[in-house]
Amino acid sequence: MKSIICFAAHPDDLEFSCTGTLKKHFMDDYEIHFVILTNGENGFKAGEMEREERVRIRQQEQREAGKMLGVNEVVFFDNRDGFLEYTEKLRADVVALIKKIRPEIIFSFDPANNSYDDINLFHRDHRVAAQVVFDACFAAKNFWMYPGESHRVSRVYFYGCKEPDHVVDISDVIDFKLSMLACHKSQFPDFSRVEKLIREKISPPHGSYAHAETFRILEIEQRT
């Protein structure tokens, strides 16, 4: 069966960005893998707890959301929330995972989003995640750079983009998208505000669509 890897910096990034599209168009034909690069523990809003407990809760919430969608697995890279660094180890680990799973498609933050006009969308963890996944896609298809059989990803769906070129109608799955987001209880003490944000700004009406998710799609060619 073909596979997809969805990379995110934090638990809940994917629910904000692409789960409507996954639910509507990909679940029947692909194994879906969620890969979360940090634990999201510093976005915790459910009271004062030790870091280990915040990590445990946020990881569990992400697993529950993934189970709703029917993802094949949820992988955590266990980095500190807010302190993600672009290191050679991080790139090597992402490349190794791509070579292991051998996805046809990847979902990831858009590295071309460098406008710095939204502090929530374009903060450090999102920028680093975008850049390392982009670079890993190139490195994974190179024969010499890293151990293991090379693999070329066919297509990348970049989310969080300022100049999308692909729009997906998710009107009929918007409630499902919201139900996945609602799994992240420790992040959203007042979920009514999150629902309003999703319906009006994150996945707003687009043309004739009541709700949409937008992407910039990169087709990856194999050059000799």
- Give residue 224's pLDDT: 53
The pTM of the full predicted model, rounded to 2 decimals, is 0.96
Residue 165 pLDDT > 70, yes or no?
yes
Residue 97 pLDDT > 70, yes or no?
yes
- Burial (CB < 10 A; 0-12, 13-18, 19+), residue 177, is buried
- Give residue 121's pLDDT: 86
Nearest CA to 109 out of 132, 79, 86 is that of: 132
120-163: pLDDT as tens digits: 888 999 999 999 999 999 999 999 999 999 999 999 999 999 99
18-76: pLDDT as tens digits: 999 999 999 999 999 999 999 999 988 888 899 999 999 999 999 999 999 999 999 99
pLDDT category of residue 14 using cuts at 50, 70 and 90: very high
**CA pair distance 12, 3, nearest whole angstrom:** 21
Pairing of strands 2-8, 105-109: parallel
- Delineate the domains of the chain, giving CATH numbers in brackets: 2-219 (3.40.50.10320)
Average pLDDT value for residue range 6-10: 98
Long-range residue pairs from 137-142, CB within 8 A, at least 24 positions apart, any chain:
137/98, 137/106, 137/220, 139/91, 139/95, 140/95, 140/98, 140/99, 141/220, 141/222
